[in-house]
Amino acid sequence: MNVSTRILLVDDEPRFCDSLAEILSLSGYLVTSAQSGEEAVELLTKDVFDLLLLDVELPDMLGYQIMDHLKGENSGAATIMLTGNATVTTAIEALKKGAYDYLKKPVDHDLLFKTIGKALTHSRLEQALRVSEERSKTMAEASWEGIVIHDNGQLLDANKQFFDMFGYQENELLGEQILDNILPAVSLPEVRLRIKNKTFGSHETIGLKKNGEQFPILTSSRHMEYRGKKVRVCAIRDITERVKAEQEKIELQKQVAITNKMETLGLMAGSVAHDLNNILSGIVTLPELLLMQMGENHEHRKIITLIQEAGQEAASVVSDLITVTRGATAQKRVWDANILVRNYVATTKEKGLDSQLKDIDIMLDCECRVSNIYCSAVHINKILMNLIGNAAEAINGKGMVAVSTKNISLDHPFLGYELIAAGDYVVISIRDDGPGIEEKSLKKIFEPFYSKKVMGRSGTGLGLAIVWNTVHDHDGFIDVQSDGGGTTFNLYFPITDKAVEEEADSPFIEQYRGCGENILVVDDQEKQQKIARTLLDSLGYKTDTVSSGEEAVNYIKMKEVDLIVLDMIMDAGINGRQTYEEILKINPKQRALIASGFAENDEVQKTILLGASQFVKKPYSLAQMGQAVKQALSQT
């Protein structure tokens, strides 16, 4: 059917044009005619045509120049040139430009229809091919797979994704043998074998980027005919994200299994402990009765004492077992983790350390001002005792154990030894330079009764089970890192924004410890300067002293300090209030604390109104001064 075929006929001879138009219309073509190039170009901008019949020589232009205006929907239109003898060379020129054929005038009608038919078929095929090429190009470009066509490893073609995925410029490796470029040594033999054996289908392997980075890929290959050759086409997917997600899933499953196992074992240990406790009370108390009834020199006294001691030892194991059972922790309250850690380490050092710890350097590295945690001090001590003890046992001789604290904020859950929830934590770390824990054992160390030590001498294998359950009982988490260079246990305790409850009767000096803040003591008495300096230095501050208000003002001009401890009445020169007034002119935010031998008087009141935070009466105790300084420093 020619009904829908639209023809633009361009010829400047009206008679020829009309007769040809009529012939074509009678055959069902929709014909529009134009007598000049300009008219034709105009029509091409308004209408869509399937075919152009162009006279080679028009008054205003050469016919083939009209072809330059075939754009948009008209770009696929077929063109046939109509020519008199004299213009055949120009017609040939038109063919080079993409015209389908030329017909000599006068036109043979049969030949005209045949040529039109062939030209239309040709242009439709061309159009279809163009669409298909565009489609496959778009598909290839839109796909996130790299697509490579290669012949035994020689790159014949590839899409942009392939070059992007492997970090090459587009077309960079074309024509080259690329297997060595895109596969690391581990993947090469298998891929070569697949190519050699003509193995197709999916294959997971490792890819190599231009920058040397390796990444997991999934390839899917098949045979294809390409420019007359049988070649291999291969779709490559970067599966880094998938592999990562799978690994995370496996890790999580392992973690869930560990936690479940730990809980079951904990419960089991707890119920065993409960039964054992009842049984043991007989073994612990009855020998005592027997011993009371026996004479001093009774022949069985020694044996019964041994029974009694064994019973007591068993009872202490049972008490550990009870701690392993979740929920058995003692009363909790708000603590500054640094205080607990410092105290524990100090007492361990003080004890002169038993033989096991004598060659071990215990180092302490507390981050200043860690947040508070809600915990049981007894149990934190128990944790430290077990972890420091384990470290010392592992080192077995000379070595180092470092105990540290720091604040850590996790934006996302973090997969360590277990999955650690996002949140704000105080992390207590115990690091040793012992031999480390091998991977196989690492999975088991927290299980109750898991021990590599000689049973009875040390090693019931409950130490880390206690640590695990205690930390979890505090809603905390544990991470362990271990290699040949040593082991680190990181214990994550959730922070609390509640304040430490003051214990009025025993103010904890540790609570007032500073973090190296600079303090300037202004006092005209040398003795007072010395006292203040010794005291503040011992609390961890950096102290400087001056003997007059004027000196203090000059000092502040040279150097900033966090706090000034100010005497009110000084023998010569300006007094405390005047000094503070002058200093505020230099630094309006300067914090100050009044230390004076006299009760609060007018000058003191005025100084407080200026912004000084506190009044400490001389003579002051370490705790009083410590508390006042801490409070003054915490004011903004």
Q: Which residue is nearest to Mg ion (CB)?
A: 463
Residue 552: exposed, middle, or buried by beta-carbon count in 10 A (0-12, 13-18, 19+)?
Answer: buried
Of 66-74, 120-128, 251-259, 382-390, the window that binds Mg ion (rule: CB under 5 A) is 382-390
CB of 379 to ligand ATP, least distance (A): 15
CA 198 to CA 231: how far, in whole Å? 10
Per CB under 6 A, the list member of 109, 333, 452, 557 interacting with ligand ATP is 452
Q: Is 58 helix (H, G, I), strand (E, B) or coil?
A: coil
Closest CA to 532 of 612, 626, 598, 599: 626
Helix ranges, 421-518 (H): 439-442, 463-473
Query: How many Cβ atoms are within 10 Å of 596's Cβ, its own excluded?
Result: 20
Which does residue 216 bind out of Mg ion, ligand ATP, none, counting CB within 5 to 8 angstroms by kind?
A: none
The binding track of 373-402 with respect to ligand ATP, each residue x by CB under 6 A or -, is: -------------x---xx--x--------
DSSP lists the bridge partners of residue 103 as 82
CB of 323 to ligand ATP, least distance (A): 11
Query: CB-based contacts of 177: which residues, under 8 Å, 6+ apart?
Result: 153, 154, 155
Q: Does 445 bind ligand ATP (CB under 6 A)?
A: yes
Would you say 187 or 390 has its CB closer to Mg ion?
A: 390
CA 80 to CA 113: how far, in whole Å? 11
Which does residue 553 bind out of Mg ion, ligand ATP, none, counting CB within 5 to 8 angstroms by kind?
A: none
Would you say 345 or 536 has its CB closer to Mg ion?
A: 345
CB of 383 to Mg ion, least distance (A): 11
Would you say 58 or 360 has its CB closer to ligand ATP?
A: 360
CB of 453 to Mg ion, least distance (A): 7
Q: Is 380 helix (H, G, I), strand (E, B) or coil?
A: helix
Helix ranges, 504-621 (H): 526-538, 549-558, 576-586, 602-610
- The phi and psi torsions of 103 (rounded to 5 degrees) equal -125, 140
Query: Is the separation of the CB atoms in 142 and 157 below 8 Å?
Result: no
Q: Does 390 bind Mg ion (CB under 5 A)?
A: yes
CA 349 to CA 295: how far, in whole Å? 43
Size of site (CB under 5 A) for Mg ion: 2
- The phi and psi torsions of 260 (rounded to 5 degrees) equal -60, -45
Query: Is the separation of the CB atoms in 584 and 566 below 8 Å?
Result: no
Would you say 179 or 464 has its CB closer to ligand ATP?
A: 464
Q: Does 451 bind ligand ATP (CB under 6 A)?
A: yes
Q: Does 464 bind ligand ATP (CB under 6 A)?
A: yes
Would you say 459 or 611 has its CB closer to ligand ATP?
A: 459
Q: Does 530 bind ligand ATP (CB under 6 A)?
A: no
Of 249-257, 287-295, 463-471, 627-635, the window that binds Mg ion (rule: CB under 5 A) is 463-471
Helix then strand count (H, E) for the chain reads 19, 24
Of 39-47, 95-103, 446-454, 540-548, the window that binds ligand ATP (rule: CB under 6 A) is 446-454
Residues at the site binding ligand ATP, with contacts judged by CB under 6 A? 386, 390-391, 394, 432, 434, 437, 445, 450-453, 458-465, 487
Residues at the site binding Mg ion, with contacts judged by CB under 5 A? 390, 463
